[in-house]
């Protein structure tokens, strides 16, 4: 992972939430929210909340007397999430690093983290910090994307970027969002952090966009792939987007397009 992989600034949060969230994140947010809500937790922590898609799915499912702390390292993303959520006295918004959290030991019944542990520079340290703030018997539920080959639009965007920059292909999507899919490694690193009960479920869904261009725009301009493209030649951002749209349209059509996405849901208990 590079430093630019963690940069969600400028127009990226808005594009991300408008285009990428409904494209790939909402279905998984509903799934992980159901899993957390089924535990009946009273104290919930969300780490690396991004623009708040899980927050919006989980908050209505929690008890009226629950307390829900929502955190993210990126202030722009967290502000966007809070603005989208609306007033809810149960929710506290905190800018926080998931590897150094400002919470006491044994504070939460459950910790949820959607598609973000891939961004942790030290996975074991991040897991250990989560374990520290969980109460005995508490649960940590998170998800990660499978390999890029199992996620069709993401692969198309990556290949389009490579076709424009063949000598230095932007690899953000393959390197980071889709770069942590070895389930044996995930189990091993959770064990090293101190989790003894781990279950991992494969969850395949369908990603649908109103057009091939919308799908391409989501990936090329609503993620840090944009940073990689612009660092090479900012004038070619739209060209990469159009190239990705053409690739998606050639495989899935010009109108509403649907492609496969696949992820793993990980449940670890203290």
Strand ranges across the sheet with 43-46: 91-95, 67-72, 43-46, 108-114, 134-145, 257-269, 197-209
65 pLDDT tier (thresholds 50, 70, 90): very high
Query: What are the beta bridge partners of residue 92?
Result: 69
pLDDT at 254: 81
Annotated domain spans of the chain: 3-269
The predicted structure's pLDDT at residue 16? 86
8-35 mean pLDDT: 89
Instruction: Round to whole Å and give the CA distance between 191 and 198.
Output: 8
Report pLDDT for 5: 45
Mean pLDDT of 224-236: 96
- Cα 247 to Cα 183: distance, rounded to the nearest angstrom: 30
* Residues 73-110: tens digit of each pLDDT: 988 889 989 999 989 999 999 999 999 999 999 999 99
- Percentage of the chain exceeding pLDDT 90: 90
DSSP labels, the chain: --GGGG---TTHHHHIIIIIIIIIIHHHHHHHHHHHHTT--SEEEE-S-TTSHHHHHHGGGS-TT-EEEEEES-HHHHHHHHHHH---TTEEEEE-BTTB-SS-TT-EEEEEEES-GGG-SSHHHHHHHHHHHEEEEEEEEEEEE--GGG-HHHHHHHHHHHHHSTTS---HHHHTTTS---HHHHHHHHHHHT--EEEEEEEEEEEEESSHHHHHHHHHHSSTHHHHHHHHHGGGHHHHHHHHHHHHHHHH-SSSEEEEEEEEEEEEE-
Cβ atoms < 10 Å from Cβ of 68: 23
* pLDDT, position 4: 56
The fold of 3-269 is Rossmann fold (3.40.50)
Query: pLDDT digit string (tens) for 7-20?
Result: 565 778 788 889 99
Q: What is the largest CA-CA distance in the chain?
A: 56
Which tens digit of pLDDT belongs to each residue from 200-211? 999 999 999 999
103: tokens are 């919470």
Residue 76's pLDDT is what? 84
Q: pLDDT of 180-194, one tens digit each? A: 999 999 999 999 999
Q: Tokens in use for 140?
A: 């940590």
pLDDT at residue 197 tops 90:
yes
């Amino acid at each position: 992972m590079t430093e630019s992989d963690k940069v969600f600034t400028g127009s990226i949060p808005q594009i991300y939430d408008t285009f990428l969230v409904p494209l790939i994140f909402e279905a998984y947010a509903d799934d992980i929210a159901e899993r957390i809500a089924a535990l009946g937790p009273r104290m919930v922590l969300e780490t690396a909340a991004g623009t708040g898609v899980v927050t919006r799915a989980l908050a209505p499912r929690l008890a009226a007397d629950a307390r829900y702390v929502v955190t993210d390292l990126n202030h722009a993303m967290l502000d966007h999430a809070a603005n989208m959520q609306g007033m809810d006295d149960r929710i506290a918004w905190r800018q926080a690093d998931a590897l150094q959290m400002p919470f006491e030991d044994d504070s939460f019944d459950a910790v949820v983290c959607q598609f973000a542990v891939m961004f942790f520079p030290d996975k074991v340290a991040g897991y250990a910090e989560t374990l520290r703030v969980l109460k005995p018997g508490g649960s940590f539920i998170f998800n990660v994307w499978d390999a890029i080959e199992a996620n069709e639009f993401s692969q198309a965007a990556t290949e389009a970027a490579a076709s424009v920059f063949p000598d230095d292909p932007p690899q953000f999507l393959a390197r980071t969002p889709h770069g942590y899919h070895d389930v044996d490694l995930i189990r091993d690193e959770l064990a090293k952090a101190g989790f003894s009960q781990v279950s991992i479920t494969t969850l395949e869904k369908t990603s649908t966009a109103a057009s091939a261009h919308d799908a391409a725009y989501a990936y090329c301009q609503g993620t840090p792939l944009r940073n990689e493209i612009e660092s090479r030649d900012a004038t070619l951002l739209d060209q990469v987007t159009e190239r990705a749209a053409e690739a998606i349209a050639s495989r899935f059509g010009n109108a509403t397009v649907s492609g496969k996405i696949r992820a793993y849901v990980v449940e670890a208990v203290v």
